[in-house]
């Protein structure tokens, strides 16, 4: 029987975290899943541990692949997945026992949605919650109380939010994805280094409706060994983010004509300037003038200009209110639909 969900577990030398990760998978209240493991020839005992686990559960499918980077191995897992829904279970994180049950139920109830997203809890190396950390997530700051209510977000809203917030999906562990999203060639690119998920989230957000499950069902572990984004100089960061956006925009779902902003091709120069400003460590006393110049010249670009990294000029509350105001002006806020 074809499993409903494919849980994809890419791994490289994470033996320390694997028992807790597998425990969270085996504890799922929904049982019609397969576990697709692709190990990159770990040499810390992880492969032997996974082999022992697979010998006791026929739902586990093991394979190994060369070390070609984190996102290459995520793609390896996805190619082997057979389920209608796909979940990337990073090996150092966990999920609540009802994660699959609640997320599958949400997607079954909303077949037009390609992604289900839940709230995310941050944990430390000892699996203890990090107090108040989740309230710092950009999606919560922008959506406010709506983040704690069931709702739909119609494409391309999440793509816009992605630009403003650095990412709308803080961790891959908080989303369940329909197979069709990956079959539409929305895969994790390997040429963006350790920011492949930034580009993926932007592409997916521009194209797919999202159903939001306001429950803390997934965790993201903060520890020194986790993958982190490193682009180099601020100019390299600005140019990389600009090129990612430029490659993603042509794929965005079109807005109705009466709500469409100026053509994105006309906004790109200002967005490039925004990214340069954002990462250039511009002196705070100069930022207000530079921001206002961009805001009044390009109203839609101002959504990005009020992003989280600009707190040197705007406080978190003011920046969030600023973004909401421009989303409403551009009639993009109408793409958020509350559910009963």
Full set of structural domains in the chain with CATH: 1-92 (3.90.550.10), 234-338 (no CATH)
Containing 158, the helix (H) or strand (E) segment is helix 157-165
Q: What is the pLDDT of residue 274?
A: 56
Contacts 24+ apart (CB under 8 A), 225-232: 225/92, 226/92, 227/70, 227/194, 228/194, 229/193, 229/194, 229/195, 229/198, 230/193, 230/194, 231/193, 231/195
Torsion over CA: 332, 334, 339, 340 (sign): positive
Confidence band of 219 (pLDDT split at 50, 70, 90): very high
Residue-wise pLDDT tens digits, 222-240: 876 665 544 455 556 666 7
In 3-state terms the chain splits into helix, strand, coil percentages (rounded to 5) of: 45, 15, 35
Write down the pLDDT at residue 135.
72
pLDDT average, residue stretch 89-102: 96
- 51-79 pLDDT per residue, tens: 999 999 999 999 999 999 999 999 999 99
Task: State what percent of residues in the chain have pLDDT above 90.
Answer: 49
Question: Which residues does 41 contact at the CB level (< 8 Å), separation at least 6?
Answer: 47, 64, 66, 67
Average pLDDT over residues 109-115: 98
pLDDT digits (tens, 9 = 90+) for 261-315: 555 555 556 556 655 655 555 554 544 444 444 444 444 444 454 444 444 444 4
pLDDT of residue 38: 98
What's residue 236's pLDDT?
65
pLDDT in tens, 119-165: 999 999 888 999 877 776 767 877 888 889 999 999 988 887 876 66
- Find out whether 91 and 10 touch, Cβ atoms under 8 Å: yes
Closest CA to 34 of 93, 96, 82: 82
Q: Can you tell me the mean pLDDT for 19-30?
A: 97
Cα–Cα distance, 112 to 30 (Å, whole number):
22
Q: Work out the mean pLDDT of the chain and round it to a whole number.
A: 81
Report d(CA 278, CA 50) in Å as an integer.
43
Q: Residue 259: what pLDDT?
A: 62
Mean per-residue pLDDT for 75-102? 97
Residues 161-195 have pLDDT tens digits of: 876 666 788 899 999 999 999 998 778 999 887 77
**Contacts with 81 (C-beta within 8 Å, 6 or more apart), sequence order:** 6, 8, 34, 36, 179
Most confident option among 313-317, 328-332, 336-340: 336-340
């Amino acid at each position: 029987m074809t499993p409903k969900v494919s849980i994809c577990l890419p791994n490289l030398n994470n033996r320390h975290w694997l028992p807790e990760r597998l425990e969270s998978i085996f504890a799922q209240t929904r049982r019609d899943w397969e576990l697709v493991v692709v190990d990159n020839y770990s040499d810390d005992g992880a492969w032997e541990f996974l082999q022992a686990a697979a010998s006791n559960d026929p739902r586990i499918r093991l394979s190994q692949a060369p070390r070609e980077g984190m996102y290459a191995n995520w793609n390896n897992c996805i190619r082997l997945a057979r389920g209608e829904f796909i979940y990337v279970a990073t090996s150092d994180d966990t999920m609540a026992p009802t994660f699959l049950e609640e997320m599958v139920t949400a997607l079954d109830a909303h077949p037009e949605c390609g992604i289900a997203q839940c709230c995310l809890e941050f944990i430390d190396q000892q699996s203890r919650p990090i107090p108040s950390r989740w309230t710092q997530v950009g999606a919560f700051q922008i959506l406010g109380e709506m983040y704690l209510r069931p709702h739909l977000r119609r494409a391309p809203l999440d793509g816009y939010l992605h630009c403003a917030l650095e990412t709308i999906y803080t961790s891959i562990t908080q989303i369940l994805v329909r197979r069709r999203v990956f079959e539409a060639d929305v895969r994790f690119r390997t040429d963006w280094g350790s920011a492949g998920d930034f580009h993926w989230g932007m592409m997916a957000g521009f194209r797919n409706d999202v159903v939001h499950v306001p429950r803390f069902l997934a965790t993201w572990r903060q520890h020194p060994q986790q993958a982190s984004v490193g682009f180099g100089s601020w100019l390299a960061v600005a140019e990389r983010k600009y090129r990612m956006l430029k490659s993603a925009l042509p794929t965005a779902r079109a807005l109705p004509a009466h709500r469409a902003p100026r053509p994105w091709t006309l906004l790109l120069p200002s967005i490039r300037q925004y990214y340069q400003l954002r990462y250039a460590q511009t002196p705070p006393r100069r930022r207000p003038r530079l921001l206002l110049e961009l805001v009044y010249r390009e109203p839609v670009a101002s959504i990005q200009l009020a992003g989280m990294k600009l707190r040197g000029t705007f406080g978190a509350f003011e920046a969030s209110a600023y973004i909401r105001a421009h989303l409403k002006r551009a009639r993009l806020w109408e793409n958020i639909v509350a559910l009963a």
